[in-house]
Structure formats: C-alpha cells, structure tokens
Amino acid sequence: MRIRNTASFLVTLLILSLLGSLILMSGAIQNSGQFGALYPALLLSNSIGILVLMILIAANIFRLLKQLRAKEAGARLTLRMVIIFTVLAVVPVTIVYSFSLDFLRKGVDSWFDLQVSDALSDSLELSRESLELRTRQLLKQTEKMAEEMSRQSAELSALNLDALKRPSALLNSQHIPNPSRLDQMRSQNGAEELIIMSGDALVISSSEKSDLLPSLPSESIQSQVMQGQSYIGLNPSQSGDLFVRIAVKLNVNQNSPSQYFLHAIYPFSSRINNLTDRVEIAYAQYNELSYLREKLTLSFAMTLTLVLLFSIAAAVWAAFYSARRISAPIRDLAAGTAAIARGDYTKSLPVQSNDEIGFLVDSFNSMTNRIARARNQVEMQREYLDTLLSQLSSGVMALTNQNIITTLNPAAVKLLDLQQVDYKGGTIESLCRTNTHLNALEKELIPLINDSREDWQTQSTILAGEGSRELIFKGTKLKSDDRVPQDSLVIVVEDITAIIQGQRDAAWSEVARRLAHEIKNPLTPIQLATERLRLKYLTKLGKTDSKLLERLTRTIIQQVETMKTMVNSFSEYANVPVIRREKVDLRDLIEDTLDFFKTAYPKATIELKITEGIPEINADPLRLRQVFNNLIKNALEASSEIGGGHIIVSVREVEYIQSHYFEILISDYGTGIPDELIASIFEPYVTNKNKGSGLGLAIVKKIVEEHHGVVSLKNKTDQGVLVTIRFPITKSISALEVAE
Amino acid sequence: MHIYRFLTILSVSISSVALFSHSAMAAPDIKFLSVESQLSNNILSITADAEVGLAKDPTEALQSGVPLFFDLHIEILRNRKYIWDRDLFKTKYTYSLQRHTLSKKYVLKNLITDTQQVHSSIAKALESLGQIRKLAVIDIEELTDRKNLVIAIQLELKISALPAPMMPLAYVSPQWHISSRKYKSKLDL
C-alpha cells in the first residue's frame, strides 16, 4: 500500500512538473528573451515526461490485459471505467485542440497584413530614396572640395610625404598642410571627417569634428577610388546612427608619382536618424517575424500538441488510478466471496470509506463473522459427537444412500477387527471385500442395507483374530430433512460373544454338574457290588466260571474307574473356580513346563523365544501351568505325528487396537485342525483326537478367561497350528497389579 | 516481459538517432587555416585565419533580419602524456552578424570589445569574421607553470541565441550546426 501511494505521489509530482514546464515553454515561445534559451531543454524534458507518462499508461494497460486474461475480479469493471473516463476526457480535449490549432493559424496569419507589409516596404524605400538624394548632394559637395584641393596641387605636391609617415616629425615640420583650410572646408560642408590619403593608404592630412581617431576607409574602397570611381556609401555607426562615407580621387599633378584621394564622412541630422532608425527597426522586426511565421506557428502547434498529449496522458493515467481505486473494494469483495466459497471464513475486508461501498464491505465482514461463528459451533458439535462415538463400546457406522461410509467409530473398527482405521469415503462393500473375514458378512448385510425397511436387526458371526465373534447389527434409516442433508443409514454393532459364551458355558457347566451328580452316585455302589460279587463267588465257582467272573468284574471295575475319572473331569469343568493369585515369573513357569516335556519327548525340538524384561504377573500358577501343559502336550502330540516333533513357544508384549497385552504363542508343525472344527474347537467334546475327553481346550479357555485373557487357535498357512493367548496388561495380571 | 522488450527497442532507437544526429552535426563549416600567438607586454594575443561558410537556411535567416551569433572559444590547456589535457584558462568572444536593412549592409560586431565592422555582402562579413587579428587572450603572469602549454581555438554558431521558434529545428538540422573543430597549437612562452 505504501509503495502504491509513493508511486501515485511520484506520478502526481511528474504531472505537476510537466504542467509547470509546459507553462514555461509557452512563455519561452511568446517571449524569447525571458525563457528562450530554456526552450529546447523544456521541449525535450516535456517530451520525455510525456513519454514516461505514456510508458506508465502502457504498463497499466498491459497489467489490465493480464488481469482480464486471468479473469481477475474487478478487471472488467476497471476496463469499463477507464474507457468511459478516457472517452470523456479525450473527446472534448481533442475538439478544443482542433479549434485551437485553427485559431492559432488564423491568429498568426492575421499579424501579417498585406497592406501593413506594403506600407513598411514603401516607407523603407522612401527612406532609402531620401537618404540617396541627400547622399548624392554630399557627393557633389565632396567632388567640389576635391576640385578645389586639386587646384592647390602644387602646394600639395610640395609636401614632404616622408615626413607624414612619421606623425611626430610631421607635427614639427614646416611642411604641414594648413589644417585650418581643411577644417574650414569640413565645417563649411557639414562633414564629420575630412581626410586626404595617399594611394598607399597613408593619411596626408585630416580634419575631425571630434577628438577620436579617424574612421579610415577599407582597402576595397581605397582600391575602387584609386581606379577613378568615387565611392559613396551609407553606413550605420557604432551608436546605430547612419552616416555617409564618400571617397573621391584628387586630380593632383599629373606628373607626380603619388596619387591622393579625399575621404569624407557626413552625419545625418538627429531628426533623420530618429526617423530612419524607427523605420529600420519596424521593418527589421516585421521582416524577421515574417520569416519566423511558419516556425512560430509550428512551435505554437508543437506546444499545443504537447499540452494535448499531456492532458490525454494525465487523464488516462488518472482514469486508471480512479478506476482502480473505485473497483478496489469490489475486487476485495469478490476475493472475499471466493474465499468463503473455498471455506475460508476468516477473511475480513478493510473498510476504507463510509459510503455505500463501505457499508457493503462492513455488511460482508459481519456476514463472514456470523458464518465463522456458526461454523465453529458446528465444528464443536461435530467434535463432541466424535468424542462421544469414540467413547462408545458399541460400534457405530453411518452410510449414505450410496452405501458410502461417512462415520465409523473406533469401537466399530475394533469389533469388526478391521485392518485399517480410516474407511471413510469408501463403500461398505469395499470394506467387507478388503477384510477377508467379513466376506460372509457382506452377503448377509448388504441385502438388509439395501432393504427399504426403516429398522432391521441381524446377528452374525465373524472370525476375528482372537477367535469367532458374535455380533448384532441394528440398522436405522434416516430420512433427509432440515437436519439430515440426504437419506442415510446408521448401523449400530454390538458384541454379544461374551453373553453367548457365558450362556453356553453356564449350560455346559449345568450339564456337567448334573452328569457328575447323576453318574458319580451310582458308580460307587456298582464298584462295591462288583467287588463283593467277585470276592464271594470267585472261589466257589469252577475254574472256567471263575476265570469268566474274574474277567467280567475286572472290566466293570476298570470302566467304573474310567467313568469316575471322566466324571471328575466334568466336575472340575463345572466347578466355580477358586483363583489363588500370587506373583508368577512367566519365564520360569514356561521353562519348567518345557523342561518336563523335553524329558518326556526327547526326540522333539522345543524352542523358547521370550522377550527380555517381561515382568512377574499376578496369577494362579497351578492353573496357568495346567493351561501350558494342555497346549504344549497337544502341540507335541500333533507334531510328533510328523517326524520327532517341533514346537516354538514365544512370549512378548504387544499392542493391539490401542491395548497392551502379554502374548504367548505356541506354534507346532503338525497336521493342523480341520477347518470345520476351528470355530468350535474350544467347546467341550470337540476334538480331532481319537482319545481324550474333549475337555482339554475347553478347560484352557476357561482358565484363560478366568484371568481375563483370550485364547485363539488357527491353522498356519504353511504347516501346523498357532495358538495365541493374550493377557491384557491393564487387567488383573498387569505389572501394576504385581507391584501392589 | 513485453514492456521490457519495448523499452529496449525504444532505448536502442533513441541511441541510434542520437548517434546519427551527432555524426550529422560533426561536419564542420568553419575551418581554421592558421593560428598564431603573439606575446607583447606579457599579453598573449592570437591571430587566426578561418574559412567560414553558411548553409542555405542560416543565410536565408540572416537576410531576413535574424541576427546570428558566433562564439569564439579560446582555451589554454596543459598537455599531459597519458591522460586528457588539463584546462588552465578559458575565454569566449561573441560576435553578432546582422543585416542592416536600410543600408543593405551586414554589421559584424564583437560584443566583448564592442567594435563593429560594416560589410556590403555576407561573404565579406564572413571573411572578416574569419580574420582574427591580435585578439588579446591572457596576461601570462596568470600562468604560473608555462610548460607543455597548448592553445585551442574553436568558432561556432550559437544556436541557443536564435529566436525560440527556430531553436528546435536548428538543433536537429545539420545546416545550423556550424562549427569548427577545436584547433590546437603548441604554445611556447
């Protein structure tokens, strides 16, 4: 802004300087004596100044064209205003210019009147005739004097001319001509000077009215006279007065080798001098003006043209300046509107005037402030909603009517076990396809989403990283209104795995408890009765019968023992756990367990990878040992079927969906588990082994969950099974709890 | 970018016109034939002969009553071997030449000495202008060091003394650029 003001000030200064310079130039034309010497410099400086103005205007035009090409706001308005201002300024100035030129030409012409010119010429001619008449009279007088002098030639011939060459000697010479006679003749004839000169330009004798040195004739005059032609000339004197110079040859002694002539100067009377002087001056001035006529007209025209160019250039520049100033607030308004369209509500425009445009700018600023405040409120509400959604344990998903995800809270990401966090902008279909474990969900969910029902609900099982997860999806359609810009769908996801599992576990516990109760009670009488039967009749029967009895009773007793063991297992599964927590070093516990199995399976390769710095945990060591026993035994049995057996046990600390866990991984290289069993492998009576109660993994799961952990199992892509146990650090076995 | 190109073309054009004008102005119409210096009573005077010519336009102006002014520049310089000469003294005599209409004569005036000569023709007046006789220049007592001195003389028509309407055309017209080259002569004192 400061640079622009400085530039405008400089241009204004230039315009004022040019104006002053043009006034001086006009003065120089009209009065050469005052500013005449400055005229060329003024002309040049004015031309350069106008050229500079033209260049400035060209730069402005160039800038405006650039703005028009770029379709900048306010450019068209500026162009229109510049054109209007320019036309308004140029047209009247041009009309005035053309009329002025015409008046100028006619005005200058009017100075030179033909009659005046003729009168001046005639007066000059008259003066000349008059002077010539007088001059001829003076010539006759001079010739008369010459004749008189010639009669005295004898006397003259006696002059010692050599003495005359030396004036000092001449003064004392006895041959000095009688000056009184020469003076007498001069005064009688009204001459200023009378000089007798020899042919070789020596003054013989002279008589002057004044004491000044005589005005001698030039060599050409001397030469002319010596050839016998008298000289008569009208000359201006130093003071400007006219005088007549006459030279006449003296007819001295014909035999004399020297020749002489008389030189006379006659003044005119002051009256005649005044008159002739006035005629001379008037005619000379008129003649000079007449000669300068065209040049004067041209100079005036040039000055006028410069004034015209200056006026037009100044007007066009002023037009640009004014147009830019007027259009500046409108340009600012357009820029402000564009900023708002881009979403920038912080734009505030400067209020530079208190007119209607200033009022408009002020209103614009108020509007943007209100919009900015409203947007901030909306942003705050949105942030509040986001915070609320992020804190919800239920997953929330919002979809547009094109199934594009607009909202997906962290709980939804966690429940759906999504690999990425940000799915906004994508469709629900692409989300399901990207995450392979949701492929089945897509087939179930998409028809419901596309259904026209207002509300719907469905339950689905997904296979998450930690195992299968039971989820309930509840959909509600929102119709577009003032608050909702378009039709959309909100899906709330809830995890009911724990509820289902709890119900299932409770049912199994009830079954186990009843089985244990109903089966265990008759087993003891059966065993006792069988033993009594055996004791009473084994010795009384014959050899063959006693062998049969002994085999049958042994079988009954063995089966009863087996059933007791099985019933005890059920009983153990069904019992409400009693956890005896104490500080447990996870490394020691696992190493002890592995040492036992290394002895039992000497051919097997058992590796342990444990991260340094795993702290002690607060847990029931006996029950944890039971977990590791079951899992490692299963892994070794599975891998022993192929080769000697190879298992890897890893312990590490991991972060999974913003939570920290101790993670124990048990990996084997066995035959793996059939896919159809994977989902229910932790349920009682589910096993892929020929022997066993099918309660091992169910008990593992139960113990892990008693410690608030999770256990999962999956087939590895290459070979074998990977069992993962995660104990959350923030729960009961955390390091903090250990510290207590 | 276009504005810069325009300014470049403009400056080149102006330079070309200036160079052309300068070369046109450089042609001398006054030529010094001889320059002599004399020393008398410690006063250095100069005698020179020059041929002075007038082109058609100045002659026409003179005949129309426009006075012409001539400047006779006299300089005393110290000649230096490797750098330009140093000015020690400068003086200027101005002459006016004007037609006296009534007497049909041409009056040549030395405006400094206030002396005048009247001639019947322009040729004779110009011839007289070219005859510089014993024109006093300087009292040599003013020159402290009198070694390697050079006297330079130049006669030129004074355009700035013309009537204002004539000046613009006179400045650009070669006819009005009447000047001699600077005639230099060694000065032995």
Q: What is the pLDDT of residues B48-58, one digit of tens each?
A: 999 999 999 99
Q: Same fold for the domain at A140-268 and the one at A392-495?
A: yes
Please name the amino acid found at residue B96.
S
Give the pLDDT band of residue A738 (cuts 50, 70, 90): very low
In the prediction, which pLDDT does B14 show?
A: 56
| Residue found by looking up tokens 């600012």 in the block | A332
| Coil/strand/helix, residue A650 | strand
Taking one residue from A and the other from B, the number of pairs with CB-CB distance under 8 angstroms is: 89
Place of tokens 């029931």: A620
Region of A410 on the Ramachandran plot (φ > 0 left; ψ -120 to 50 alpha; else beta): alpha
Mean predicted confidence (pLDDT) in B154-171: 87
pLDDT, tens digit, 9 for 90 and up, residues A5-44: 677 777 777 777 777 777 776 666 666 555 556 677 777 8
Closest CA to A195 of A154, A243, A247: A247
Q: What is the mean pLDDT of residues B5-30?
A: 53
- State residue B13's pLDDT score: 55
Q: Do B165 and A280 touch (CB under 8 A)?
A: no
> What is the Cα A424 distance to its own chain's centre?
32
Q: Please report the residues numbered 90 through 109 in chain B whose beta carbons come closer than 8 angstroms to any beta carbon of chain A.
A: 99-103, 105, 107
Tell me the pLDDT tens digit for each residue of A590-623: 988 888 888 888 888 899 998 887 777 888 888 8
When the candidates are 3.40.50.720, 3.30.450.20, 2.40.30.10, 3.40.50.150, the CATH number that belongs to A392-495 is 3.30.450.20
Q: Tell if the CB–CB gap between A29 and B116 is shorter than 8 Å.
A: no
Does domain A582-739 match CATH 3.30.565.10?
yes
CA distance to A644, A666, B143, per residue, from A638 (Å):
10, 12, 129
Q: Give the range among A121-135, A257-271, A392-406 with minimum mean pLDDT.
A: A257-271
Q: Give the β-pairing of A203-208 and B183-187.
A: unpaired
More confident residue, A289 or B22: A289
Residue A171 has pLDDT above 80, yes or no: no
- Identify all chain B residues contacting A48, using CB atoms and an 8 Å cutoff: none
Highest mean pLDDT among A147-156, A323-332, A405-414, B17-26: A405-414
Report pLDDT for B45: 92
- Residue % of chain A over a pLDDT of 90: 4
> Does the pLDDT of residue A486 top 80, yes or no?
no
Smallest CA–CA distance from B172 into chain A, residue: A40
pLDDT-derived band at A691, boundaries 50, 70, 90: low
pLDDT > 70 in chain B, percent: 85
Given an 8 Å threshold on Cβ–Cβ distance, is B100 in contact with A40? no
CA–CA separation, A181 and A159 (whole Å)? 15
- Contact assignment for B102 to A124 by CB distance below 8 Å: yes
Q: Can you tell me the mean pLDDT for A631-636?
A: 90
pLDDT of residue B179: 92
pLDDT higher at B35 or B7: B35
The answer to whether the Cβ–Cβ distance between A236 and B66 falls below 8 Å is no
Coil vs helix vs strand at A420: coil
% pLDDT > 70, chain A: 86
Predicted confidence at residue A421, as pLDDT, reads 62
Q: Is A261 helix (H, G, I), strand (E, B) or coil?
A: strand
Position of tokens 């500079």?
Answer: A52
Check residue A46 and give its pLDDT: 79
Encoded amino acid at B111, one letter: L
Residue B165: list chain A partners with CB under 8 A: 29, 32, 292, 295-296, 298-299
pLDDT digits (tens, 9 = 90+) for A710-736: 888 888 888 889 999 988 775 444 443
Q: How far apart are CA A723 and CA A638, in angstroms?
A: 13
Residue extents of the structural domains in chain B = 2-187
Structure-model confidence comparison of residues B28 and A292, the more confident one: A292
Domain definitions of chain A by residue range: 2-111+286-337, 140-268, 392-495, 502-574, 582-739
Looking at the DSSP bridge assignments, the partners of residue A489 are A399, A477
- Which residues in chain A have their CB less than 8 angstroms from residue B164's CB? 28-29, 32, 35-36, 39, 299
Q: What is the pTM of this model?
A: 0.52
User: Residue A106: its pLDDT value, please?
Assistant: 83
Question: H-helix or E-strand containing A335?
Answer: helix A270-342
Residue A173 has what pLDDT?
Answer: 38
> Cβ of A88: how many Cβ atoms within 10 Å?
12
Tokens encoding A548: 């049969």
Q: How far is A241 from chain B (nearest CA, A)?
A: 11
* Average pLDDT of the residues of chain A: 80
Instruction: Please report which confidence band the pLDDT of residue A336 belongs to, taking 50, 70 and 90 as the band edges.
Output: confident
Instruction: Tell me whether B146 touches chain A (CB under 8 Å).
Output: no
- pLDDT tens per residue, range B87-123: 889 999 999 999 998 888 999 999 988 888 889 899 9
Between B2, B103, B164, which is nearest A242 by CB?
Answer: B103
Report pLDDT for A365.
86
Indicate the range of A101-105, A108-112, B111-115 predicted with least confidence: A108-112
Quick one: pLDDT at residue B6? Answer: 52
Looking at per-residue pLDDT, the higher value among A52 and A205 belongs to: A52
Mutate to test the interface with B, among A112, A218, A277 (most CBs of B within 10 A): A218
Q: Which CATH number fits domain A140-268: 3.30.450.20, 3.40.605.10, 1.20.1440.230, 1.10.10.60?
A: 3.30.450.20
Residue A290 has pLDDT above 70, yes or no: yes
Q: At what angle do helices A179-189 and A114-151 cross, to 10 degrees?
A: 150
DSSP secondary structure string for all residues of A481-518: SSS-SS-EEEEEEEE-HHHHHHHHHHHHHHHHHHHHHH
Best of A39, A46, A132 to substitute, by most chain B Cβ atoms within 10 angstroms, is A39
